[in-house]
Amino acid sequence: MNKNIIWIIAILSLVQVSAVDYRFYAQQDENITIINHCYDSGANCISTIPCNITITREPYFALNNKRMTNNGFYLNYTFYNTSINGEYQASIVCKNGADSSFDNFFFKITASGNPPLTTGETILYGICFIFFLSISISFLVWSIGIDGKNTYKIGDYAQINYGKYLKLFLFTLSYFGFWIFCLFAATLIENYFEMSFMYNFFMTIFQIMSILIIPFLMVMSVAAFVDWIADAKLHKLIKRGLPPR
């Protein structure tokens, strides 16, 4: 069986459909403003009605029975304890004398703050993950294997080797292939494996390579131009029958 197919099957086997209906997704280490509503006899609660929120991440309390801000139209609370990825459960209780209202919901904190990909997106990202990794390695190996040096034979006879330009071109393609691969790798790792460290690792590489694209292209262009100048001079010497310097 083709190795690429095995990779795709392995990725798809990790896809899990969550039975939990998350109200929202939030980004790790970012403050979350939780907004809710309180109703009393079908109308908005007055601002003097106390409403408290409790947030748990099994088996621990992330927030225990804290007072929410009630402005008479909606409730809000800023949740700061977002350093750990995973599923959280929030419970809100408002009491007006003997009457009380209750709301319970789940939310999830991820490294990127994005919801999981669909099955179709999984297949697409898995194929792109494999494709860009394969071509970046292939182009890099191909580039390294090319001899770009000019050849010199007995009698000071020189022959220009234009493989150096193909070498630079393939190395550039390898750079862009790995750059795109890092983006797909970060997306897959964050959405399926929920490994924030690896997500941050690949995303950091992607961001650094994004910043270096212009300098990289400038270096490749200068290298190609210098080689072209040297080859042009050598070509003139060959035409004149002079030995290379």
Query: What is the per-residue pLDDT across 80-98, written as a single tens digit (0 to 9) for each?
Result: 988 888 889 999 988 877 6
User: What tens digit of pLDDT does each residue of 192-203 get?
Assistant: 666 677 888 999
Q: Which pLDDT score is estimated for 134?
A: 92
pLDDT score at 238: 63
Query: Above 90 in pLDDT, residue 128?
Result: no
More confident call, 244 vs 46 = 46
Lowest mean pLDDT among 96-100, 169-173, 227-231: 96-100
pLDDT band for position 2 (cuts 50, 70, 90): very low
In the chain, the domains with their CATH numbers are 19-110 (2.60.40.10), 119-240 (no CATH)
Lowest pLDDT segment from 62-71, 102-111, 143-152: 143-152
**Residue 184, C-beta contacts closer than 8 angstroms, at least 6 positions apart:** 125, 128, 129, 132
**Residue 45 tokens, joined:** 């609660």
pLDDT, position 193: 67
